[in-house]
Amino acid sequence: DIVMTQSPDSLAVSLGERATVDCKSSQSLFNRSNDNNYLAWYQQKPGQPPKLLIYWASAREFGVPDRFSGSGSGTDFTLTISSLQAEDVATYYCQQYYSGSTWTFGQGTRVEIK
């Protein structure tokens, strides 16, 4: 099974500053046939279900603020919040959907205000 590992487990960032979350997969999520990385990012706030932010590693879901961006390829990926807002306090998860028979999440990264 593909293992997803996020770092750090938590981080505290000042309002307006950049927050960066890394995600590493145990095998490549890149499909050469369509040039896509099968990696998504979700945001989850307490008491709520996860919300899709990013798919195909870097495509922003409709309605997601452009301060959220995804990058990376193969086994190494990054979620960046360019200017942290109070409403961005949440736990963020990466997920691989490359396998087609198992769908694996990272352990989550909690983002807080410093």
Partner 1 sequence: QVQLEESGGGVVQPGRSLRLSCVASGFPFSTYGMHWVRQAPGKGLEWVAFISFDGNNIYYADSVRGRFTISRDNSKDTLYLRMNSPRPDDTAVYFCAKPVASVLSSYFDDWGPGTLVTVSS
Of the pair 18, 103, the CB lying nearest partner 1 is at 103
Estimate to the nearest angstrom the gap between the alpha carbon of 62 and the chain centroid: 16
Q: Characterize the bridge pairing of strands 59-60 and 30-31.
A: unpaired
- Residue 15 beta carbon to partner 1: minimum distance, rounded to whole angstroms: 26
- Residue 81 beta carbon to partner 1: minimum distance, rounded to whole angstroms: 19
Distance separating alpha carbons of residues 20 and 27, to the nearest angstrom: 22
Distance separating alpha carbons of residues 52 and 40, to the nearest angstrom: 8
- Which chain residues interact with partner 1 by CB under 8 A? 1, 38, 40, 42, 44, 48-52, 55, 61, 91, 93, 95, 97-108
- Residue 109 beta carbon to partner 1: minimum distance, rounded to whole angstroms: 10
Task: Give the number of C-alpha atoms closer than 13 A to the C-alpha of residue 90, restricted to the C-beta side.
Answer: 21
Of the pair 24, 51, the CB lying nearest partner 1 is at 51
